[in-house]
Structure 1
Amino acid sequence: MRLFRSLDYATDADPNWAGSLLADGTLPSFRGGYVGISALRNSDVLTAVSIIAGDVARFPMIVEDKAKETIVPLENVEYLLNTKVNGRLSAYQWRFAMTVNAILTGNSYSRIVRDPLTNEPSMLEFYAPSQTEVDTTDPNHVVYRFTPYNSGYTIVCQQEDVLHWKFFSYDTFTGRSPLLSLGDEIKLQEQGIGTLKSFFGGGLKGSVLKAKGKLSADARKKMREDFERAQSGAASGAPVVVDDTVEYQPLEVDTSVLNLITSNNYSTSQIAKALRVPAYRLAQNSPNQSVKQLSDDYIVNDMPFYFEPITTEAEMKLLDDEQRHKFKIEFDTSKVSGPSVQDVASMKTNGIIVGNEARQKLGMKSIDNPDMNRLESNLNTIWLDQRAAYQAAKAATKGGDAHEGNSHDDNAD
């Protein structure tokens, strides 16, 4: 959103534009640095955002046939989403930046540049939230205005030509950052770190000076200032020199308070919960599960919160109406969370999936071979409704063999 605009426009189009900037963290507010780029100063937030953005950027996006559940080679869309979005950005950089902005500010934007002849998407232009203005005056025709840095012009786009990522929204127009709920937790963590810095920075100087006689308030103040001036410039741990009129006694610090600060994992666990990141990824104790189980649970149950808004937005803006009825866009996580090779082989040999489906589940490309699209079976199984007839035929065959054997015996006699 633009920070500077005419008063008339602010009144007519969006009278609450300043409040929106405050809520998004574009302008500083009482929330401090808990939203926006400044939130990355917190190491837990930086780690969690890096994990999510990295996972969104590294998993390939594929186009699947809804009916056949096979990968469709829609090269133009796949190239933009997985390889290169424009002359400056790779798909990985673009997806990473889009995810970071969507988490920190609630929204991320990219303009779709289409081929003038075919109207197919040919390039994606990334714009920061500070470069973007969203006009929702007409809810049925949302207008986006992009103002590139150091430029005197504005690009006006309709909603079908803009990829707008928002992971949490209550009005369908504007996204909200999950960091908005973490103000108290991050503040508590910062206060604990501040206490540690204060202790290690000047904790050894805490002491009690006992002087002989009764001193007035001014005398005590002057005595403290003289003592501090005498000790200024001394290295940490240097000896303290006093005369026989003063008794110096260093303060004993209760280290249990420091232990409580350093062992307080509440803020970290709250950040992990709000951003849907496994706690063990933020150096927290994990449940009694293997890393593989935790990783699979994270991809299956947590990452769809980020995957689904991205894929549905891509389907709405990058596919035409006919394609949307036939195809769907998904993240391919099979190389990380897919079934084991043994499980896939078992499904294939038991006629549950065909060969190319097995290769797809293992993250491999299909093979152009007719036999790879046929269901397999084995001779050790039979249809349930044919079991009785099979057993009767088998019993009859055994009976016939026995009878024939007896006949031969009689003839021999």
Structure 2
Amino acid sequence: MLNPFKNFMSKQTQTISTTGYSPFMLNGTLLSTNTVDADGALQNSDIYAVINRIAGDVASCEFKTDQYSNMLNQPSTLLSAYNFWQAVSAQMMLTGNAFVLIQRNGNGSPAGLTLIPFYQVSITLDNQQNVLYYTVNYGDDRGQVTYLAADILHFRLFVSGQVATELVGSSPLNSLAKEINIQNYSNQLSLSSLKNAIAPSYTITVPAAKLEPQAKENIRESFEKQNSGANSGRPIVLDQSAQLDSLQINPDIAKLLNNATFSQTQIAKAFCVPDSYLNGQGDEQSSIEMIRSLYQNSLSLYIRPIESELSLKLGIDIKMDINSAIDVDHQQLISNITKLSTGQSPALTPQQAQTILKQTGVFPNLKVSAVEGGDDNDNSTN
């Protein structure tokens, strides 16, 4: 029986190029993913806003680990920890992938991290040994260097599981090509409309006259001379042989400009964040707490790939504290503790609540009150 996958299975190695938005190559097959260019995407204010917000919040999360805390909190000598993890998150959103080389000391232990531009990396899968290799083209004296997968942190934003792209991530930009085109055309239309509104076009009608092209040009030049330069803004004087009309802007254009709002909503949806973060207009039925909760859930989609890859390659459980990014002033924590420590059946005693506030750094100098007279906070009476 003919096996359609025979040639595919006989391949001992597969090479997948991860050059951003250039097509992927797999077994000689061109897999086009060229949708929205990463550099061009950042010129779109809505995409820039959502990527800047998410990348900044991910970079603000604190790592919860003891063994490699120094390396994770100061991974590079060239960038601050915030900018390093901001760049990792931004690359992951723009291209679906981010690559970081693990620098090791003489004992082979991780000692530092180096961010590698995505366009310098290609991946080779050895099907026979089921091993991944990462080849980095540095473009300098180092030339090309091949690393084992254990030495490369490969952060993937979204892995579809398809055979051709099961080893690489996918950017939300891949789903926004049509929406971005709509928004670009809408912006061009807006500029054109504003230009015409400020300097509207006119028609000059000469009743009962059939003019030669040169005569039309003479009338046009005469009118432009009256209405430009030093004469701009002055009254226009015409004799009875000509009638002047201004071309009006179609009021339906305003409806077309609403495509900008539509595109904002689609961009927010692709990045899984509440659209109020882009258009500044919240749902009347959505409270601040609800929007914050939705955003927190969305932010976890970008934190989990980092946590998972670090835990896999470093061999320890690593978590990121999302509250350090979204609850900077600790108001949400204080509100939650207040709810848990008050009411008819509080879940926390006052001493427990104070201890939590002190340990989390909300009130680091707080003196926790002692339990009076051996009171064990039992509300029962004798």
- TM bracket (short chain): 0.7 to 0.9
Report the CA distance between 1:225 and its aligned residue.
Answer: 8.1
Whether contact under 8 Å (1:81, 1:91) holds in the other structure is: yes
* Contact 2:21 2:34 (8 Å CA) reproduced: no
1:169 to 1:237, Cα distance in 2 relative to 1, 3 A: farther
RMSD between superposed Cα atoms in Å: 3.8
Deviation at 1:222, TM superposition (A): 6.8
Aligned to 2:106: 116
Partner residue of 1:314? 310
Counterpart residue number, 2:281: 285
> Counterpart in 2 of 1:87?
77
Q: Which amino acid aligns with 1:295?
A: R
Deviations 1:284-304 (A, max 9, x none): 4212333233213311x2111
Question: Normalized per residue, which structure has more helix?
Answer: 1
2:307–2:320 CA contact under 8 A, matched in 1:
yes
Report which stretch shifted further, 203-212 or 177-186. Answer: 203-212
3-state SS in 1 of match to 2:22: helix
Q: Which residue of 1 aligns with 2:179?
A: 185
Distance in 1 between residues matched to 2:311 and 2:365, nearest whole Å = 23
Corresponding position of 1:22: 22
Alpha-carbon distance in structure 2 between the residues aligned to 1:43 and 1:58: 22
Which runs of 5 or more structure 1 residues have no equivalent in the other structure? Answer: 1-10, 64-72, 383-393, 395-413
Give the alignment partner of residue 126 of structure 1, picking from 78, 90, 115: 115
- The aligned amino acid for 1:52 is I
- Say if 1:220 and 1:303 are closer, same or farther in 2 by CA, change over 3 A: same
Give the whole-Å Cα distance in 2 for the aligned partners of 1:240 and 1:258.
30
Q: 1:178 to 1:21 in 2, by over 3 A?
A: closer
Change (3 A) 1:329 1:191: same
Q: C-alpha distance in 2, partners of 1:366/1:105?
A: 45
1:168 matched residue in structure 2: 158
Alignment length, in residue pairs? 340
- 1:285 aligns to what SS in structure 2? coil
**Unaligned stretches of 5+ residues in structure 2:** 1-10, 25-31
Partner of 2:321: 331
Which residue in 2 is equivalent to 1:210?
Answer: 205
- Choose from 53, 56, 62 the match for 1:54: 56
Q: Secondary structure at the match of 2:41?
A: helix
Larger Rg: 1
Task: Using structure 2 for the length normalisation, give the TM-score.
Answer: 0.75
1:231 is matched with which residue: 216, 224, 233?
Answer: 224
Shift of 1:182: 1.1
Give 1:251 deviation, angstroms: 1.3
Give distance in 1, aligned partners of 2:135 and 2:155: 16
Equivalents in 1 of 2:51, 2:208: separation in Å?
Answer: 61
Return the offset for 1:106.
1.1
Equivalent position of 2:266 in the other structure: 270
Give secondary structure in 2 for the equivalent of 1:277.
Answer: coil
SS at match of 2:305: helix
Identify, as 1 or 2, the structure richer in strand. Answer: 2
Say whether 1:380 aligns with 2:379: yes
- Distance in 2 between residues matched to 1:169 and 1:86, nearest whole Å: 28
| 2:47 matched residue in structure 1 | 45
Supply the AA of the counterpart residue of 1:136: L
TM-score (norm 1): 0.70
Q: Which of the numbers 97, 113, 126 marks the counterpart of 1:107? A: 97
CA distance in 2, matches of 1:21, 1:259: 33
Amino acid in structure 1 at the alignment position of 2:118: P
Measured after TM superposition, the shift of residue 115 of structure 1 is 1.5
